[in-house]
Structure 1
Amino acid sequence: MTLMSVENVGFAYGSGRRVLEDVSFAVPRGANVGLVGESGSGKSTLLRLMLGLDSPQQGQILFDGAPLEARDRTFIQGYRKRVQAVFQDPYSSLNPAHRIGRIVSEPLRSLKVPGDHRKMAEEAITSVGLSADTLDRFPHQFSGGQRQRIAIARAIVARPELVLADEAVSALDLSTRVRVVDLFQEISERMTMIFVSHDMGVVAALCDQMVVLDRGRIVEAGATAEILRNPQHAYTQSLLASIPRMPEGPVTP
């Protein structure tokens, strides 16, 4: 069953050229879908549309069969309960003046979710591999990887159906990135996820399906394994060629 569908979407800023042109794809419920492309491909604009921060100028986005009405406050409030996001920079996405408990439970307050918010925040923070006493501390007391785990806990605390991750591991060092990717894999067993990334390696590790964007258009889409095995478009081939690979054979000092 389809959870979100993007249908013939087009968008331009002001009177400039279109940033997105006739973009269409579906996100099956329970799947991980990767949106891949370099800077300028339209990924960030598409993410804004899927979050309801802007509206398509052409086409539509459907969530659970209903049009995503970005200008309808009642719709958006309900939508926020079902869709949350994790952003790129773990340093700027957490308010340094607030304790982690307040940060993680913020969606519960803003969405007026009933229940014991402290208990729900503890469940979220422990589910990302941090201890409950994390909630009593401040962001500056944590590493970049730990901060991104906190941001993930904030995104899942209200138990959304869909999580949108925007370059959510690109600001992390390699070893930390591997651990956060493993965490996303665990979370994806409980909810649908869309990963917006320029990193084909991360998408290959996380996503069942892949959508490749180039200059606002989809150039290739389908099962990730099939695209990796037999990419059809030259742009996809160039992205795959850029994935770092370990050297073959012994390395001479």
Structure 2
Amino acid sequence: MTLLTLENVGFSYGKGQRVLEDISFTVPRGSNVGLVGESGSGKSTLLRLLLGLERPQTGRILFDGAPLEARDAPAMRAYRKRVQAVFQDPYSSLNPAHRIRRIVTEPLRSLKVPGDHLAMAQEAIAAVGLSPDTLDRHPHQFSGGQRQRIAIARAIVSRPELILADEAVSALDLSTRVRVVDLFEEISERMTMLFVSHDMGVVAALCDRIVVLDRGHIVEAGETATILNAPQHPYTRSLLDSIPRMPVAP
């Protein structure tokens, strides 16, 4: 069953050049889909549309079969209970003045999620491999990888159905990146994920399907193994050629 659908989505800023043109793809429930492209490909704009921060000028976005209406506040509140994001920079995404307890439970308060918020935060922190005393500390006491784990705990604490991950490992060093990718892989067994990245290697390691975006257009999309073994578009081949070693899906 399809959880997220984009149908002929187009967008431009003001009267400028089209940033996205005729974007169509689906994210099946329970799958991991990678959206990959270099800087300027339109990935960030597309993510803003999926977060409801901008509205498509053409086409539409559907979540669980219903159109995403960014101007409908009650509908967006319900949407955000089911969709959460993890962003790129673990250093700027956590408020340094707040304890981790407050940071992780923030979605529960803002979305008015019922239940024992402390217990839910403890469960989320445990799920990302951190100790319970993490909740009583501040962000500056943690490494970059640990901060990104905290950001992931904040994203999963409300038990969403879909995680939007925006370049979520690009700010980390290589060894930390591998550990966080492993964590995303564990989380994806329980949630659907759209992983947005310029790094084809990371996307290939995590995702069942890949959508390749170049200058606002989808140039290739399909099963990960098929794209890795037989890329059809020159841009896709250039992304693959830039990676020394690629994991090949079975």
| TM-score tier (shorter) | over 0.9
Alignment partner of 1:81 is 2:81: yes
- 3-state SS of paired residue (1:56): coil
Paired residue secondary structure (2:231) = coil
Amino acid at match of 2:7: E
- Corresponding position of 1:213: 213
Q: State the partner residue of 2:173.
A: 173
* Alpha-carbon shift at residue 214 of structure 1 (Å): 0.4
TM-score when scaled to structure 1? 0.97
Please give the root-mean-square deviation of Cα atoms over the aligned residues, in Å: 0.7
Q: Secondary structure at the match of 1:103?
A: helix
Match of 1:249 in 2: none
Deviation at 1:100, TM superposition (A): 0.1
Structure 2 residue 105 is matched with structure 1 residue 109 = no
Task: Give distance in 1, aligned partners of 2:58 and 2:132.
Answer: 46
SS in 2 for 1:221: strand
Q: Which amino acid aligns with 1:172?
A: L
List per-residue Cα deviations over 1:173-224 (Å, max 9, x = no partner).
0000000000000000000000000000000100000000000000000001
The residue correspondences of 1:92-241 to structure 2 (distance < 5 A) are 92-241=92-241
Partner secondary structure for residue 15 of structure 1: coil
Q: How far, CA to CA, are the matches of 1:114 and 1:62 in structure 2?
A: 26
Which residue in 1 is equivalent to 2:62? 62
Deviation digits for residues 120-145 of structure 1 (CA, Å, limit 9, x no counterpart)? 00000010000011000000000000
Q: Give structure 2 stretches of 5+ with no counterpart.
A: none
- The amino acid across from 1:46 in the alignment is L
Query: How do residues 11-30 of structure 1 correspond to structure 2 at under 5 angstroms?
Result: 11-30=11-30
CA drift at 1:245: 3.3
Q: How far did residue 244 of structure 1 move?
A: 2.7
Q: Secondary structure at the match of 1:98?
A: coil
Instruction: Give 5+ residue unaligned stretches, structure 1.
Output: 247-253
Counterpart-to-counterpart distance in 1, 2:208 and 2:182 = 15
In 1, Cα distance between the equivalents of 2:180 and 2:236? 25
- In terms of Rg, which structure is larger? 1
Aligned partner of 2:31 in structure 1 is 31
SS at match of 1:10: strand
Give 1:42 shift: 0.4
Q: Which amino acid aligns with 1:13?
A: Y
- SS of 1:210's partner is strand
Partners of 1:229 and 1:77 lie apart in 2 by 41
For 2:59 and 2:223, locate their aligned partners in 1 and report how far apart those are by CA, in whole Å.
24
Which secondary structure state, in structure 2, belongs to the residue aligned with residue 79 of structure 1?
Answer: helix
Q: Secondary structure at the match of 2:177?
A: helix
| 1:7 correspondence with 2:40 | no
| C-alpha distance in 2 between matches for 1:178 and 1:148 | 12
Between the aligned partners of 1:4 and 1:127, the Cα distance in structure 2 is: 25
Tell me, what secondary structure is at the counterpart of 1:85? strand
1:46-61 to 2 correspondences below 5 Å: 46-61=46-61
In 1, Cα distance between equivalents of 2:127 and 2:156: 10
Tell me how far apart the structure 1 counterparts of residues 244 and 85 of structure 2 sit (CA, whole Å): 28
TM-score (norm 2): 0.98
Q: Which amino acid aligns with 1:95?
A: N
Cα distance in 2 for residues equivalent to 1:14 and 1:225: 39
AA at the equivalent of 1:34: G
Partner of 2:72: 72
State the Cα deviation string for residues 133-158 of structure 1 (Å, max 9, x = none).
Answer: 10000000000000000000000000
Letter matched to residue 175 of structure 2? S
